[in-house]
């Protein structure tokens, strides 16, 4: 906002109207002596712009001229946001506010009252609900009135600072800077993504494309290098194989030589072996011949000996035969004697046997007599017992007793009856009568009829179970009946039991259970007696009958008669048995002797048979010996015929022996020679030859492999491996240089862009930094020294760094502080000027500043008047003689000229 | 008397480790060079040509390439060509010299596996059978004492001079000539022409292979009067391509003058299309200057066969320049301040980096850790970018 015209009346010293018009864009001077009302003008301006027309604030009231009730009236013409406005205001008495806007060549009413005030305040950056420190908006800092301590800079409220920053935005960047940043951003964007990475893919920058290309080329180069390495490896293999094959060839040659030598030796060996075999054959023939001679010679000797032996044997045989003849005669005699004795013994034995038979029969007869006697005794005893048994059985039959189970039943019934009756007594009732006069009655009590005479005065009692009927004939029939079912049941049970018991008693025609018991006991006694008789009979008869015993007695008597007949004796003649045993012993002795004699005879006969067999055998041997003797003699004759005589045989034997010995020695020598050769020479040769063949095969295989290797190496070598490698390496190197350059450039772009962004942020995202930079610039120009000025939030000078040392503001002179405070205001104004030209009011500042510095400040003021409107109020115009100002108002002149009514 | 060409390390089929982009051109140039060697041999009428190892870069060279080499050497017929297997082409079963292509070589091209005799000389070779060894190849050979011929040893390996050899790189004792009693020791392996003493020489590669080689591109013409006589050795340049390195140390304030001087020097290089040039810028310079200088240097690329620009310059922005870059913008001034702090701390000059920038670096390391990061360089690039973006608007 800048001021164009100010008109006041009823304000301070200006009771009448005073108008200042024609303020220019740059520096304006308002001159006047002290107390003339310079500051009042500024206060009036403030009140008009920043206070509501309806306000009765102390500030407003203080505008009223001393001792009057005049209503202050102020008219302001100002420019803001590219438009010209006129604000007319009257306070306190009939206050109003009217805002005009210059449109179409004239001022037109724009708003009134509150709306007018609100609009103006909005224009001047006053918050909607202003606080004390924000009521004046920016003017609080930019308009320095005399009253305020201009040495101490008001701080910039945060609320305002934010408002300013919102307005300024990036408008702090000059066009030049903007172009620079735009160009930089473009350059950056060609290489990097938003997130600061290299762009990849189609639009990738050269540096990335180069890197990728190099990567590909490197892979190719590696492949070639691998091939080159394989050449080296193959070459090494070839060299190794070549050496191997050479060695194997040498080995082959040596083995060949060895085999040749072995074969030669083997030939010699074979010849010797043949010789040996032939000689061995001859030796064999000779040996056979020699053996033959030897055999014949020995045979002759043998035959001679044989003949002698046979003759001797024949002699011995004859002698033995004669001996045997003598023995035969002797034994014949002995045999005859023995046979005679045997016959005598036979007769003796027969006599003894007859005697023994007779004795035995007599004995048997005696025994039979005894047996018959015993049998007769037993039969009579048995007959007696039988009689007793018959009698006992008859007695038993006569007793009428119940069997055991029936008895038991009777007993049970009896007991049951007693129990039931006792129960009946308790279950039933008692019927009592006492007769006043005696009478006879017929009573039926529980079906039992009783006829009783009842005495007078005597109590008669009946235990009734169910029913009692009493008939007193001619008088009454009384019936008393129990209604209990139990009583009836009991009564029935008793009747039933009584009936059953009665049945048993009738059966055995007895009266009581005692009688029945007595009879039963009697029966038991009789039974026991019978059992004892039967047992005795069984003991005597042992299961047999009397007839059996009689039959046996008859048989025995028959046997006895027969025996007595045989013995020719009478029963009476029977003697007790005698020495049967002695006879038996004699008989045994005789039998023994007989057996012994028979054995002796057999022995003699056997010996005689043996002697006869020996004689036969000896005769046979004699015949054989004779034959053998004859054959030996003929053999001797045959052998001697072959040679002529024995002497000739001996000569032939001796010659043969000599020949054999000679050839034996030759063979021995040959054997020694053969032994010097190693064994299995043929096998060794065969083995060696096989190895030779294997080696040859191995060499051939290796040679094939070598050929293959050489072929494949040849193939590799026939290409242009090194040429390719060289070209690829060169290409890579070229690209790498380019890539490095591009990389450095790209990273350079990144660094510059990042730094620029950082600096930009720092400078324009706070209001303080650029202001601080400006203040630093200004103060250094004013003081001619290099200082760093640091501002805190709220634009307070927090420290000043000089020569690397930070200082507090207090340490500086009042003049410097005054200058700093002025410069901060100017800087703030300048910063705001980027948005809109601002008015700065300086009310008698620079009082402590020397003329030199003041002059420098003037230069700055002149500079900034390009962008700011400055109104300077002073009572000392001579101080500003060096300043190039645009317009000056002399209040004393104005007041005189207009005489309070304006220009 | 004997007169021959001593050469080595033809490295046919060479892989370009530097100047990789023009590998094909570099390989092709070697054929051009060996044609020149054949020309020299014929022109000088030598007794033989001795190649002391590494005729081929590898044993895996294509048969076509072998054939091309053989057809060039066939031009010398009947002058004998003696070829010694070196560490790049050792005589192994996979050796190129055992392959079909080489077996078609005409008779005057002989592989040096055994001693050979010419009318006046005896050449004793020590062929290599592997790629590395700690054994001195000269220890395997000796000259027959009764020969009244000029004794030449053909060896491939590294002279065992402290600081100039690896222990497994076929170390050759420097007293080799005395020990063997050789009239001349023909060495191969080192790529620069090198004379150890009157009798021991490396010819170097006839066609350079690197910017670091100081004296390559020659063959040696050797003449020996007779046994015991000192050899006469003459260097003959045969190279096809030239490898050059130009460098300049920049100083703030006078960068422009220094660069101008360098450009003038480069302008004077003859045969630019047959030259590989490396420009190395060191020292300190303003980012704006670097940005501008790049434009100039890039223009040179068309003139040369190959151009390699190595900027090893440290950025040293001047305060005024920074003001210019910031163009009065507080924002850019702040960014610049932060960036320079970051850069300084990355380069280890000052440990003063804010928590914020430490966090940023941490994020970068985390996010892009799978790339070979060089944060100091990246920070420099950031400064350059800032300069580019602001200055272009300003101008």
CA distance B320 to B251: 17
- Which residue ranges make up each domain of chain B? 2-237, 242-394
The whole-number pLDDT of residue B26 equals 94
Q: For B17, which residue in chain A has the nearest alpha carbon?
A: A730
d(CA A501, CA A412): 9
Cβ distance B202 to B190 under 8 Å? Answer: yes
Q: How far is B235 from chain A (nearest CA, A)?
A: 30
Residues 6+ apart with CB under 8 A from A109: A98, A99, A100
A70 part of a folded domain: yes
* Statement: residue A7 has pLDDT above 90: yes
Higher pLDDT, residue B394 or B246: B246
Spatial separation of the C-alpha atoms in residues A170 and A757, rounded to whole Å: 13
Chain B residues touching A749 at Cβ < 8 A = 381-382, 385
Which residues on chain B are in Cβ contact (under 8 Å) with A731? 20
Inform me whether the pLDDT recorded for A189 exceeds 70: yes
Q: Do B94 and A232 touch (CB under 8 A)?
A: yes
**Residue A189, Cα to own-chain centre: how many angstroms?**
58
A positions 392-421 inside 8 Å of B (CB): none
Size of interface A-B (CB pairs under 8 A): 182
Nearest residue, CB atoms, A730 vs list B20, B61, B379: B20
Q: Which comes out higher in pLDDT, residue B204 or A324?
A: B204
Q: Please list, in sequence order, all residues whose beta carbon lies within 8 angstroms of the beta carbon of residue A585, skipping any fewer than 6 positions away.
A: none
In the numeric block, the tokens 């060191």 are attached to: B282
Q: Answer yes or no: is pLDDT of A316 > 50.
A: yes
By the CB < 8 Å criterion, does A217 face chain B? no
Query: Is B385 an interface residue toward A (CB < 8 Å)?
Result: yes
Residues of A in contact with B339 (CB under 8 A): 751-752, 755
Instruction: Give the residue, B69 or A521, on which the prediction is more confident.
Output: B69
Confidence class of residue A214 from pLDDT cuts 50, 70 and 90? very high
A720 closest CB neighbour out of B62, B331, B386: B62
Tokens, residue A317: 């045989």
If you search the block for the tokens 């016959």, which residue do you land on? A343
Contacts of A745 in chain B (CB under 8 A): 378, 381, 385
What pLDDT score does B394 carry?
44
d(CA A702, CA A533): 135
Q: Do A755 and B357 touch (CB under 8 A)?
A: yes
Q: Is the pLDDT of residue B237 over 80?
A: yes
List C-alpha distances in Å: B120 to A140, B48, B77, B187.
Answer: 114, 12, 19, 20
Residue A902 is predicted with a pLDDT of 37
* Mean pLDDT, residues B225-253: 92
What three-state secondary structure class fits B49? Answer: strand
Is B390 close to A727, i.e. CB distance below 8 A?
no
Nearest by CB to A197, which of B367, B377, B381? B367
Most confident of A236-250, A607-621, A863-877, B37-51: B37-51
Q: Would you say residue A243 has pLDDT above 80?
A: yes
Q: For position A816, what pLDDT does the model report?
A: 85
Task: At A473, list the tokens.
Answer: 């004939």
Which residue of A242, A723, A740 is in closest CB contact with B13?
Answer: A723
For residue B375, which residues of chain A lie inside 8 Å, CB to CB? 747
Q: What is residue B269's predicted lDDT score, i.e. its pLDDT?
A: 93
Question: d(Cα A778, Cα A764) in Å, to the nearest integer?
Answer: 19
Average pLDDT of span B17-32? 92
Name the pLDDT band for A5 (thresholds 50, 70, 90): very high
Q: Give the confidence band of A764 by pLDDT, cuts at 50, 70, 90.
A: low
Q: What angle do CA A415, A418, A421 make, to 5 degrees?
A: 145
- B249 close to B258: Cβ distance less than 8 angstroms: yes
Has residue A477 got a pLDDT over 70?
yes
Strand segments, DSSP code E, in B84-181 are 109-111, 116-117, 121-125, 150-156, 158-159, 171-172
What would the mean pLDDT of A477-504 be, rounded to a whole number?
83
Look at residue B234 and tell me whether its pLDDT is greater than 90. Answer: yes
CATH of the domain at A855: 3.40.50.300
Whole-number average pLDDT of chain B: 89
- Per CB-CB distance under 8 Å, the chain B contacts of A239 are 92-93
Hey, of A190, A720, A748, A786, which one would you mutate to test binding to chain B, going by the most B CBs within 10 A of its CB? A748
Average pLDDT over residues A776-789: 86
Instruction: Judge whether A748 and B384 are in contact, CB under 8 Å.
Output: yes
Inter-chain residue contact A751 with B342, CB threshold 8 Å: yes
Contact B21, A730 (CB under 8 A): yes
Residue B232's pLDDT band, with cuts at 50, 70 and 90, is: very high
B352 touches chain A (CB under 8 A): no
User: How do beta strands A2-9 and A18-21 pair?
Assistant: antiparallel
What is the least distance, in Å, from the CA of A173 to any CA of chain B?
Answer: 8
* Residue B361 contacts residue B318 (beta carbons within 8 Å): no
Cα of B74 vs its chain's centroid, Å:
28
Most confident of A42-46, A425-429, A572-576, B217-221: B217-221
Contacts with A565 (C-beta within 8 Å, 6 or more apart), sequence order:
none
Q: What pLDDT shows up at residue A903? A: 34
Please report which confidence band the pLDDT of residue B156 belongs to, taking 50, 70 and 90 as the band edges. Answer: very high
Q: Report chain A residues whose CB lies below 8 A from the CB of B332.
A: 177, 180
In a mutational test of the A interface, the residue from B66, B94, B347 whose CB has the highest number of chain A CBs within 10 Å is B94
Beta carbons of B331 and A228 less than 8 Å apart: no
- pLDDT of A403: 81
User: Between residues 622 and 641 of chain A, which touch chain B (CB distance below 8 Å)?
Assistant: none
Within a domain: A696: no
If you average pLDDT over residues A260-284, what whole number do you get? Answer: 90
Residues of chain A with Cβ-Cβ distance to B27 below 8 Å are 726
Q: Structure tokens of A640? A: 């001697």
In the structure, what pLDDT confidence band is assigned to residue A28 with cuts at 50, 70 and 90? very high
pLDDT tens column, B190-208: 999 999 999 999 999 999 9
Rounded to 10 degrees, the C-alpha dihedral A641/A642/A644/A650 comes to -130
Q: Does A240 touch chain B (CB under 8 A)?
A: no
Mean pLDDT of A346-364: 80
pLDDT per residue over A99-153, tens digit each? 999 998 899 999 998 999 999 988 888 888 888 878 888 888 888 765 555 566 6
- Does some domain include residue A859? yes
* Overall number of domains in chain A: 1
> Is A846 part of any domain?
yes
CB-nearest partner of B382 from A232, A734, A752: A752
pLDDT of residue A149: 57
What are A74-101's pLDDT values in tens digits?
Answer: 999 999 988 999 999 999 889 999 999 9
Residue A115 forms part of a structural domain: yes
Q: Which domain holds residue A864?
A: 2-156+767-898
Q: Which among A399, A465, A384 is positioned nearest to A428, based on CA atoms?
A: A465
A180 touches chain B (CB under 8 A): yes
CATH class (in words) of the domain with range B2-237: alpha beta
- Determine whether the interchain pair A755/B342 forms a contact, defined as Cβ–Cβ distance below 8 Å: yes
Does the CB of A311 have a partner CB in chain B at under 8 Å?
no
- At A900 the pLDDT is 43
- pLDDT over 90 for what percent of chain B? 58
Q: Choose the weakest-confidence range: A160-169, A308-317, B97-106.
A: A160-169
Q: In this complex, is the C-beta atom of B161 within 8 Å of any C-beta atom belonging to chain A? A: no
Nearest to B364 among A187, A713, A750 (CB): A750
Q: Say if A286 falls within a structural domain.
A: no
Q: How far apart (Å, rounded) are the C-alpha atoms in residues B286 and B386? A: 13
For residue B388, the chain A residues in CB contact (below 8 A) are none
Q: Which residues in chain A are closer than 8 Å to B338, comparing Cβ atoms?
A: 755, 758-759
Is A6's pLDDT higher than 90? yes
From chain B, pick out residues whose CB is under 8 angstroms from the CB of A184: 385, 389
pLDDT digits (tens, 9 = 90+) for B290-333: 878 888 888 899 999 999 988 888 777 666 666 666 767 778 88
Mean pLDDT of B72-76: 94
Of A302-306, A431-435, B15-19, B37-41, which gets the smallest average pLDDT?
A431-435
Q: Give the pLDDT band of residue B89 (cuts 50, 70, 90).
A: very high
- Which positions in chain A touch B346 (Cβ < 8 Å)? none
Alpha-carbon span A673 to A543, nearest angstrom: 120
Residue A865 has pLDDT above 70, yes or no: yes
Residue A185 lies in a domain: no
Residue, of A442 and B352, whose pLDDT is higher:
A442
Are residues B59 and A759, on separate chains, in Cβ contact within 8 Å?
no
Q: What percent of chain A has pLDDT over 70?
A: 96
Write down the mean pLDDT value for chain A: 85
CA torsion through residues B54, B58, B63, B64, sign: negative
Which 719-758 residues of chain A touch chain B by CB within 8 A? Answer: 719-723, 725-727, 729-734, 740, 743-752, 754-756, 758
Q: Which of A717, A734, A770 sits opposite B20 (nearest CB)?
A: A734
What's the pLDDT tens digit per position in A679-724?
888 888 899 899 999 999 999 999 999 899 888 888 888 888 888 9
Of the listed ranges A166-170, A517-521, A743-747, B298-302, the one predicted with least confidence: A166-170
* pLDDT confidence tier of residue A307, bands split at 50, 70 and 90: confident
Q: pLDDT by residue (tens digit) across B361-388?
A: 888 998 898 899 999 889 888 988 888 8
Residue A898: per-residue pLDDT: 55
Q: Would you say residue A73 has pLDDT above 70?
A: yes
**Interface test mutation site (partner B, options A235, A744, A831, max chain B beta carbons within 10 A):** A744
Q: Flag whether A425 is in a domain.
A: no
Q: Which of A180, A228, A751 minimises the CB distance to B382?
A: A751
């Amino acid at each position: 906002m800048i001021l164009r015209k100010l008109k006041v009346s009823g304000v301070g010293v200006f009771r009448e109207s005073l108008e200042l018009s024609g303020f220019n864009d740059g520096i304006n001077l308002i001159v006047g002596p002290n107390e003339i009302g310079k500051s009042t003008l500024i206060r009036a301006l403030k009140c008009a712009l920043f206070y509501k027309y309806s306000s009765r604030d102390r500030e407003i009231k203080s505008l009223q001229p001393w001792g009057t009730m005049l209503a202050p009236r102020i008219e302001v013409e100002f420019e803001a946001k590219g438009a010209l406005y006129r604000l007319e205001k009257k306070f306190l008495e009939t206050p109003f506010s009217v805002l005009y806007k210059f449109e179409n060549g004239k001022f037109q009413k724009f708003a009134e009252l509150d709306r007018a005030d609100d609009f103006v305040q909005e224009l001047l950056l006053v918050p909607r609900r202003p606080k004390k420190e924000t009521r004046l908006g920016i003017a609080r800092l930019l308009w320095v009135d005399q009253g305020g301590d201009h040495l101490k800079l008001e701080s910039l409220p945060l609320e305002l600072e934010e408002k300013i920053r919102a307005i300024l935005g990036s408008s702090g960047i000059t066009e030049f800077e903007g172009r620079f940043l735009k160009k930089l951003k473009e350059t950056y964007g060609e290489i990097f993504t938003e997130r600061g990475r290299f762009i990849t893919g189609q639009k990738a920058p050269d540096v990335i494309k180069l890197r990728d290309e190099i990567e590909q080329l490197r892979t190719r180069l590696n492949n070639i290098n691998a091939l080159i390495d394989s050449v080296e490896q193959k070459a090494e293999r070839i060299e190794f194989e070549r050496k191997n094959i050479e060695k194997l060839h040498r080995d082959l040659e040596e083995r060949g030589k060895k085999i040749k030598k072995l074969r030669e030796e083997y030939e010699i060996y074979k010849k010797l072996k043949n010789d040996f075999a032939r000689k061995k054959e001859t030796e064999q023939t000779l040996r056979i011949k020699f053996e033959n001679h030897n055999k014949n010679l020995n045979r002759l000797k043998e035959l001679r000996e044989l003949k002698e032996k046979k003759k001797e044997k024949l002699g011995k045989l004859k002698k033995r035969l004669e001996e045997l003849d003598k023995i035969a005669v002797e034994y014949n005699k002995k045999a005859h004697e023995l046979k005679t004795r045997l016959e005598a013994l036979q007769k003796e034995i027969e006599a003894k046997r007859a005697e023994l038979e007779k004795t035995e029969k007599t004995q048997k007869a005696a025994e039979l007599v005894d047996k018959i006697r015993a049998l007769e005794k037993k039969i009579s005893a048995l007959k007696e017992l039988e009689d007793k048994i018959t009698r006992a059985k008859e007695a038993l039959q006569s007793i009428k007793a119940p069997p055991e189970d029936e008895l038991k039943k009777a007993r049970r019934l009896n007991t049951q009856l007693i129990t039931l009756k006792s129960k009946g007594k308790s279950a039933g009732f008692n019927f009592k009568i006492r007769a006043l006069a005696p009478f006879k009655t017929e009573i039926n009590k529980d079906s039992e009829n009783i006829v009783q005479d009842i005495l007078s005065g005597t109590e008669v009692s009946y235990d009734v179970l169910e029913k009692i009927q009493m008939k007193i004939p001619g008088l009454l029939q009384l019936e008393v009946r129990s209604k209990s079912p139990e009583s009836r049941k009991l009564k029935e049970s008793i009747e039933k039991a009584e009936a059953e018991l009665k049945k048993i008693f009738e059966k055995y025609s007895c009266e009581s259970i005692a009688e029945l018991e007595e009879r039963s006991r009697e029966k038991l006694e009789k039974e026991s007696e019978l059992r004892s008789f039967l047992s005795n009979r069984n003991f005597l008869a042992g299961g047999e009958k009397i007839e059996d015993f009689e039959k046996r007695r008859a048989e025995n008597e028959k046997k006895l008669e027969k025996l007595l007949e045989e013995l020719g004796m009478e029963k009476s003649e029977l003697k007790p048995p005698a020495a049967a045993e002695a006879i038996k012993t004699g008989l045994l002795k005789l039998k023994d002797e007989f057996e012994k004699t028979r054995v002796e005879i057999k022995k003699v006969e056997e010996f005689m048979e043996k002697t006869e067999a020996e004689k036969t055998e000896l005769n046979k041997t004699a015949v054989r010996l004779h034959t053998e003797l004859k054959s030996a003699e003929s053999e001797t004759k045959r052998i001697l015929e072959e040679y002529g005589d024995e002497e000739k045989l001996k000569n032939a034997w001796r010659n043969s022996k000599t020949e054999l010995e000679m050839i034996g020695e030759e063979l021995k020598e040959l054997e020694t020679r053969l032994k010097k050769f190693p064994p299995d020479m043929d096998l060794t040769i065969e083995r060696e030859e096989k190895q030779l063949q294997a080696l040859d095969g191995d060499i051939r295989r290796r040679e094939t492999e070598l050929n293959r290797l050489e072929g494949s190496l040849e193939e590799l070598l026939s290409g242009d491996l090194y040429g390719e490698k060289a070209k690829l390496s060169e290409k890579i190197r070229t690209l790498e240089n380019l890539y490095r350059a591009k990389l450095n450039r790209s990273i350079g772009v990144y660094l510059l862009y990042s730094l620029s962004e950082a600096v930009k942020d720092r400078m324009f995202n706070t209001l303080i930094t650029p202001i601080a930079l400006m203040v630093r610039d200004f103060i250094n120009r004013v003081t001619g020294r290099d200082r760093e000025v640091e501002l805190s939030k709220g634009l307070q000078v927090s420290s000043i760094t000089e020569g690397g040392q930070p200082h507090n503001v207090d340490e500086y002179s009042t003049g410097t502080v005054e200058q700093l405070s002025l410069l901060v205001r100017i800087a703030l104004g300048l910063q705001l000027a980027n948005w809109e030209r601002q008015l700065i009011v300086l009310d008698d500042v620079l009082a402590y500043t020397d003329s030199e510095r003041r002059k420098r400040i003037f230069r700055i003021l002149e500079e900034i008047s390009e962008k700011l409107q400055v109104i300077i109020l002073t009572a000392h115009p001579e101080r500003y003689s060096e300043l190039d100002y645009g317009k000056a108002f002399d209040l004393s002149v104005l007041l005189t000229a207009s005489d309070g009514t304006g220009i | 008397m004997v007169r021959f060409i001593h050469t080595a390390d033809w490295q046919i089929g060479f892989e370009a480790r530097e100047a990789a982009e023009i590998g094909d051109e570099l390989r092709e140039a070697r054929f051009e060079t060996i044609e020149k060697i054949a020309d020299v041999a014929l022109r000088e009428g030598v007794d033989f040509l001795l190649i002391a190892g590494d005729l081929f870069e590898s044993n895996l060279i294509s048969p076509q390439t072998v054939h091309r080499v053989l057809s060039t050497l066939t031009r010398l017929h009947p002058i004998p060509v003696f070829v010694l297997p070196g560490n790049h082409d050792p005589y192994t079963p996979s050796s190129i010299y055992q392959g079909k292509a080489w077996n078609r070589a005409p008779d005057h091209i002989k592989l040096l596996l055994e001693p050979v005799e010419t009318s006046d000389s005896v050449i004793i070779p020590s062929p290599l059978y592997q790629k590395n060894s700690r054994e001195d190849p000269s220890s395997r050979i000796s000259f027959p004492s009764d020969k009244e011929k000029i004794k030449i040893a053909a060896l491939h390996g590294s002279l065992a001079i402290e600081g100039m050899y690896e222990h497994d790189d076929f170390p050759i004792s420097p007293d080799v000539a005395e020990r063997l009693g050789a009239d001349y020791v023909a060495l191969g392996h080192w790529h620069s022409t090198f004379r150890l003493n009157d009798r021991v020489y490396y010819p170097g590669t006839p066609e350079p292979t690197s910017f670091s080689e100081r004296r390559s591109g020659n063959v040696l013409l050797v003449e020996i009067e007779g046994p015991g006589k000192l050899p006469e050795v003459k260097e003959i340049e045969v190279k096809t391509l030239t490898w050059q390195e130009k460098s300049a140390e920049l100083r703030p304030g006078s960068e422009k003058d220094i660069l101008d001087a360098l450009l003038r020097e480069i302008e004077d290089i003859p045969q630019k299309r047959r030259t590989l040039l490396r420009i190395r810028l060191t020292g300190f310079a303003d980012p704006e200057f670097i940005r501008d200088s790049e434009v100039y240097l890039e223009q040179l690329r068309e003139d040369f066969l190959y151009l390699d620009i190595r900027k090893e310059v440290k950025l040293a922005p001047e305060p005024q320049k920074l003001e210019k870059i910031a163009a009065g913008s507080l924002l850019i001034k702040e960014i610049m301040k932060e960036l320079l702090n970051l850069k300084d701390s990355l380069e280890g000059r000052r440990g003063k980096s804010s928590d914020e920038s430490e966090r940023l670096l941490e994020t970068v390391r985390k996010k892009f850790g799978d790339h070979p990061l060089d944060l100091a360089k990246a920070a420099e690039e950031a400064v350059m970018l800032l300069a580019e973006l602001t200055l272009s608007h300003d101008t």
